[in-house]
Amino acid sequence: MNKLIDFLEKHLLPLAQNLASTGWLVALRDAFISTLPISLTGSVAVLVKSLIIAAKRDLGWKLFYQLLSPAVDICNFVWRGSVAMFALFFALSWGYQLAKNCEVDPLGGAMTSVCAFLMSIANYAYLFKDHQKIKLDQAFNIKQLSTTGMFTALLFGGLGVSLYVLFIKARISLHISASMPPEQVVAFETSIPVMLSLFVIGGLNYLFQTVTGRYFGDWLLEIIQKPLLDLGQGFIMVLLVTALTQLFWFFGINGASALAPVIGSIWATAQNANLLAAADGKMIPYLWTSSSFIIYGVTGSCLPLVIATLLKSQRSDRRTLAKLALAPAVFNINEPVLYGLPIILNPVYFIPFVTAPLANVSLSYLVTKLGWVNRVQASVPGIMPPIVGPYLACNYDWRALLLSIVNLVIAVLIWLPFVKASDRMGEKRPRSSFYMPQY
């Protein structure tokens, strides 16, 4: 076991550190985190709307539905202004975080990113009337502003901000007297970099459209985004990301943050597509999403250890720590257990710490694929208790609640023999001199 830990420490730890400290990856992670309020708002709107409609459809509460029908309309407005425009909000946040990370004016970066994104999507839409397809010029299809346009926002928003940063670092800007208000000074000094960046992006889009006859956003959706989303639905990819997340955490690095570009760009896009489909009453397209990763994967991975410790541990110090950590663990706050027992760099706990989430994810993936549980249709906060989170995320599916209980039991059973072994070994905190900062 120690040889395995040494091998992982030698080969995996440098990779985790590099991922966690790469500037644009950090900015991308922060961009997805920044859009969390939008996702949660849209999810709440869909959940409230679904609850009211289900009360009428399944329980026959027609009067209840009539009284709350205004709430359904309000939820439609909220959804249209939040998740339905998700790519636009992401482009704004992505530009802001990337410019901030590069130590230039973040507001200029945000505007550059949004403009670059809007230039790269089609400015026409189709209207279907009486079996005829009518093209409307100078109109944006709102779907392009939702998760459909995520990769376009990611690519061209990032490219636009990179050019903006490059021009600023090259000092290609107006130099204004410092006697002016600071806001005006920044606005004038960033004007030329923003202008040059957008003209370069405009030129690239013109060349691409001239050569291919297509808008880049449409091409990117077909060539890159859909295959990547399909790849993210594969069982092997789900297991790989889950395992890497746990391995990074084992060395003290926040695995979910280190892999945020993968989780965000692929699974968050799939999640928002599911949310849009649920709001429209359509079939849910994607089996695995970022919330699937949260509710069935790693977020509650320490709660089973706390329960197993309370059930079988004979050591009073660990039982005391488990009692103190129980309430935080219920709400997926795992640091007291990670650093207190500890799990980090503890060879005895390495196997269950990795295998328990893999077992939970495997069962959840299989059950969802078989259609025994609804696919995830809403975002849930990371602090949502393990049993409640799946129930809400799967649109009030009682089977998801049952699956969560089964997953918890399985994880506890995996942890039990290792808790007993740890008691017998009476190991001390391993490598106390080793410290790895949490990113």
Residue-wise over 316-354: b if at least 16 C-beta within 10 A, else e? eebeebbeebbebbbbbbbebbbebbbbbbbbbbbebbb
Predicted local distance difference test score (pLDDT) of residue 38: 82
Euclidean distance between CA atoms 337 and 339, whole angstroms = 6
The answer to whether 407 touches 324, Cβ cutoff 8 Å, is no
Same domain as 57, residue 37: yes
> Coil, strand or helix: which one is 135?
strand
Q: Which of 205, 224, 243 is the last residue of a domain?
A: 224
- Cα dist from 356 to 68, 213, 253, 303, 418, whole Å: 43, 50, 19, 11, 12
In a domain, residue 126? The reply is yes
Shared domain check, 101 and 9: no
**Does residue 98 lie in a domain region?**
yes
Dihedral pair phi/psi, residue 124, rounded to 5°:
-145, 160
**Which tokens go with 194?**
């923003």
CA triple 394-329-243, angle to 5 deg: 70
Q: How far apart are CA 396 and CA 377, in angstroms?
A: 10
Asked whether residue 435 is domain-assigned, the answer is no
CA–chain centroid gap for 189, Å, is 35
Strand partners, 299: none
340 and 313 housed in the same domain: yes
Q: Do 412 and 342 share a structural domain?
A: yes
Q: How far apart are CA 112 and CA 193, in angstroms?
A: 9
Cα(29)–Cα(261) distance, integer angstroms: 6
Cβ atoms of 343 and 12 closer than 8 Å: no
Asked if 257 and 370 sit in the same domain, the reply is: yes
Q: What total number of domains does the chain contain? A: 2
Same domain, 136 and 116: yes
Q: How far is 103 from 27, CA to CA, in rounded Å?
A: 12
- b (16+ CB within 10 A) / e for 236-261: ebbeebbbbbbbbbbbbbbbbbbbbb
pLDDT, tens digit (0-9, with 9 covering 90-100), for 249-277: 776 666 666 676 667 667 877 887 888 78
In a shared domain, residues 14 and 72:
no
Q: Distance between the two ends of the chain, CA-based, in angstroms? A: 26
Name the residue with tokens 């080969």: 11
Name the stretches of the chain with pLDDT < 70.
Answer: 1-22, 57-59, 124-133, 135-136, 138, 177-178, 225, 251-258, 260-262, 264-265, 297-300, 335, 339, 345, 425-439
DSSP strands (E only) in 263-329 = none
- What is the widest separation between alpha-carbon atoms in the chain? 77
pLDDT score recorded for residue 61 = 80
Coil, helix or strand at residue 431: coil
CB 302 within 8 A of CB 407: no
In a domain, 436, yes or no: no
Q: Is residue 13 domain-resident?
A: yes
Task: Please report whether residue 330 resides in a domain.
Answer: yes
Q: Are 438 and 254 in contact (CB under 8 A)?
A: yes
pLDDT at 10: 63
Task: Note whether 93 and 207 are same-domain residues.
Answer: yes
User: In the listed set 224, 245, 280, which residue is the last one of a domain according to the structure?
Assistant: 224
Domain hosting 315: range is 2-19+233-425
* 194 and 242 inside one domain: no
Rounded Cα–Cα distance for residues 201 and 112 (Å) = 10
Whether residues 200 and 278 share a domain: the answer is: no
Residue partners of 48: CB distance under 8 A and separation at least 6: 71, 75
Residue 395 has φ and ψ, to the nearest 5°, of 65, 55
Q: Is residue 59 part of a domain?
A: yes
- What are the φ and ψ backbone dihedral angles of 134, each rounded to 5 degrees? -110, 130
Q: Cα angle vertex 99, ends 12, 93, to 5°?
A: 85
371 shares a domain with 292: yes
Query: Taking Cα atoms as reference points, which of 98, 116, 92 lies closest to residue 165?
Result: 98
- Among 224, 242, 257, identify where a domain stops: 224
Same domain, 176 and 193: yes
Residue 124 identity: Y
Residue 164: inside a domain? yes
